[in-house]
Structure 1
Amino acid sequence: MKTSVINIAIGMLALFTASSCKKDTRQLNSDITAVSTLSAPVNSASLNLQPGGSSVVFKWNAASASEGGVILYEVAFDKADGNFSKPAYRVLADGTGVQQQATIPQDTLNKIASLAGIASSSTGTLKWTVMASKAANVQIGSAINTLQITRPAGFAVAPSTLFLTGSATEAGAADVTKAIAFKQTSPGVFELYTSLQPGTYQFTDKATTAGTKYYLNGSGTIQQGEQTTAISATTGAYRIRLNFNVATSNVVGIQSVGLFMSAYNTEIGQLAYAGNSTWSNARIPVTFYQFSWGRDERYKFILHTSAGAEYMGSVNRDNVAPAGQPASYFNLTPVTNDQWNNTYKFDPSIDTHNAKVDVYFKANAAYSHTGTAVN
């Protein structure tokens, strides 16, 4: 009898526990309303985008949830004829999605406009709304504003690497995998010292047939496409600078590189282009200048270009002797034409001897040079 009472008590306790669990379990209510008011930018606002311009703040009124809780927001952009079923771009609201605003850089808006089919240097329409979500419930805003976007010249998404290829180049056009790499000097900006011969050339972001191709039109503006740029001048050395942020180019011929000795205040030798971004002279007679206090060994370089003379020298205004210095001692950087500042010092072994001098403008390393004594 005692055992039966205990079994009945245990059964009732289990039933009570199960009943209690059922009462505490309920479905999460994720019902929310759509965002119905967009406050900034106002409808039909015009934005004239500029590279690096101030960010634009998008604002809206809050959505509401029937039982409270966290609501996340995204600003959705689409083409003028889009319906936001597949937005061209989405930007999470400030504060990891919880604030009723989104601060969007102009560079991002430029990319969004490009994805929506608005060409550079032109004006087009974007639509935007705010998508509110709670759990898996996503509500597209009932309010939709338009923006008139004027894009700057240039590419919303610039290549991160760049190569030169074509019949006019040192690598030729037969094998694009041998295309010549540019140096990236800053995001979207590239530079290359090379030679060109009569023929055609183009640029590619990958040294493969699948790379995105670019060319220069008649005014020197960078364009995307399979076309090539023709060159009919005689073979010569050039410096090619391309800025994809504003779609501009600067191509200058380099006649020679001069070795400038400060104490003589003149060039004592010329370096000729030797291929592979290198200028060289195998034998330049070097004699240090005799002052009352000793012999002066300071020097730097002059680039003779079609746009005028440019000086290249040391990042240090006053330099020590090269013995024991790191390789970076010989790095080249643009400097002024000051007779004495930003110069290097030759090793004493070069005095009254010939010097083999090489200048390297390599894409995969710091611009640099060497100078060694030869018989």
Structure 2
Amino acid sequence: MKTILKSLLTLMVLSMTLISCDNDDYTLDPEIALTGSLESPSNSETIEIDLENGDNIIFSWTPAQANDGGTILYTIKFDRPGGDFSDPIYTSPSDNGGGATTFTMSTSRLNIIAAEAGIQQLETGDVAWTVEASSSYFRENFTEPSTLSLTRPEGLAIFPEYMYVYGSATEASDIPSAVAFKQISNQLPNDNFQPGVFESVTHLSPGEFYIVNGNNASAEDLTHYYINSEGKIRSGDDPTTFDMEEGVYRVRMDLAKATISFVEISNIQLYILANQAVKADLEYVGNHTFEATNAYFEFLTPESPDAPDWLGWEEERYRYQFQLGDGQVSYLGSMHNEAMNGSLVPGLEGYNGRPNGGEPEYYNNVYFLGPEAAYWQGAWKFPDALNGANFTVRVVFDPKAENYYQELIQE
């Protein structure tokens, strides 16, 4: 038995020695031996960026090689013409997490790259691109970069945090006090906004206004815009004339399409959903705010003289209606679905109780529901404290708040 064990031990030692010798003959060498070459788009190719109808652009190249034949990962880089790609304006791993010799880019991303390279809307300019190959800790750019000639569509590609207006037609006389616009996003199922739409609810009267991308008059990157004769937003210090009737408007700037729209908002009313009774007529008081004071409501019961025939419980649900433009009735409401047991806004939860202190902080968020909102959609409930009490109600379209919101305050 001892002889057998000694023999096995000897074989194991011999095998390990042979393996060790074999490993000594092979040395890992991840250094890049050969970079690839850029294939598509071809050098100096012209691309006219079409944000609405354009297909994705596919960038491709031949593979690089490492001395040991190991895996190569790729990063595509974009720079201004003449740049050395040490401080690129955009980088991204290639398709398949960096493992593919292709990169798929949307036209909107290419438009942003063109803008960051200094190409203005409706102008043509060049952008350089290359690929960086990496193997272990070795990284090397392809030796021959390529150039693209890009023609940008009208509209901005890089959006500021806020846009602003000021001038005699607005509520603000100068840049520091300018009226803010916020970029709006899709929240409710019926929303269909593209990036770059900025909105403000504000008072306008005949006069002139200026559009700027900031409210710091001394900022180096402060840019003025105006509306040309075709209704398009263009860079420039010229004032724009507002010649519509005085009123409160929902103004939307679509920076991606370089357009602007003005739709008047009037007759905001708080009304009870069960019987359609108006309980407050809100007036514009400035600074994006509508307000009514001395409002009053007693919760509906089956015995109330104005209760609907079908009512068999105490009812206090309400929302807002208003006129949009030339008399079209539209609605403002909460995130709630018709049953008020869920939210139509992703990430929020419905709250079916009275807001007596246990409601979530987003309970009073206000949303544009649109003219086709379902009968019970977007309801709120009154708190118990306002049953049979006078109150002040405000709807605040503050562009610098996280959301538009309402306030109900007992008087």
Task: Return the TM-score normalized by structure 2.
Answer: 0.67
CA gap of 1:207–1:131, structure 2 versus 1, over 3 A, is same
C-alpha contact 1:179 1:207 (8 A) present in aligned 2: yes
CA gap of 1:272–1:218, structure 2 versus 1, over 3 A, is farther
SS in 1 for 2:358: coil
* Structural mapping, 1:89-238, within 5 Å: 91=91, 94=94, 100-115=101-116, 118-121=119-122, 140-141=143-144, 144=146, 147=148, 149-173=150-174, 176-186=175-185, 188-209=196-217, 210=219, 211-238=222-249
The more displaced of 189-198 and 217-226 is 217-226
Number of matched pairs: 340
Percent of residue pairs identical: 31
SS in 2 for 1:289: coil
Q: Distance between the aligned counterparts of 2:330 and 2:66, measured in 1?
A: 66
Partner of residue 40, structure 1: 40
C-alpha contact 2:334 2:378 (8 A) present in aligned 1: yes
CA gap of 1:272–1:68, structure 2 versus 1, over 3 A, is same
Letter in 2 for 1:358: R
The C-alpha deviation readout for 1:297-318, integer Å capped at 9, x for no partner, is: 2210012221522211121232
The one of 337, 352, 364 aligned to 1:330: 364
User: Which structure has the bigger radius of gyration?
Assistant: 1
CA gap of 1:265–1:74, structure 2 versus 1, over 3 A, is closer
C-alpha contact 2:197 2:253 (8 A) present in aligned 1: yes
C-alpha contact 2:132 2:140 (8 A) present in aligned 1: no
Partner of residue 312, structure 1: 332
C-alpha contact 1:256 1:273 (8 A) present in aligned 2: no
The C-alpha deviation readout for 1:185-212, integer Å capped at 9, x for no partner, is: 2453322111122322222222122312
Q: Distance between the aligned counterparts of 2:242 and 2:386, measured in 1?
A: 41
C-alpha contact 1:32 1:139 (8 A) present in aligned 2: no
The one of 277, 283, 287 aligned to 1:272: 283
Q: Distance between the aligned counterparts of 2:290 and 2:50, measured in 1?
A: 42
Task: Return the TM-score normalized by structure 1.
Answer: 0.73
* Structural mapping, 1:236-315, within 5 Å: 236-291=247-302, 293-306=312-325, 308-315=328-335
Letter in 2 for 1:38: L
Tell me by how many angstroms 1:282 deviates: 0.9
Q: Distance between the aligned counterparts of 1:296 and 1:229, measured in 2?
A: 49
Tell me by how many angstroms 1:157 deviates: 1.3
Partner of residue 22, structure 1: none
Matched, 1:358 2:394: yes
C-alpha contact 2:161 2:182 (8 A) present in aligned 1: no
SS in 2 for 1:208: coil
CA gap of 1:150–1:288, structure 2 versus 1, over 3 A, is same
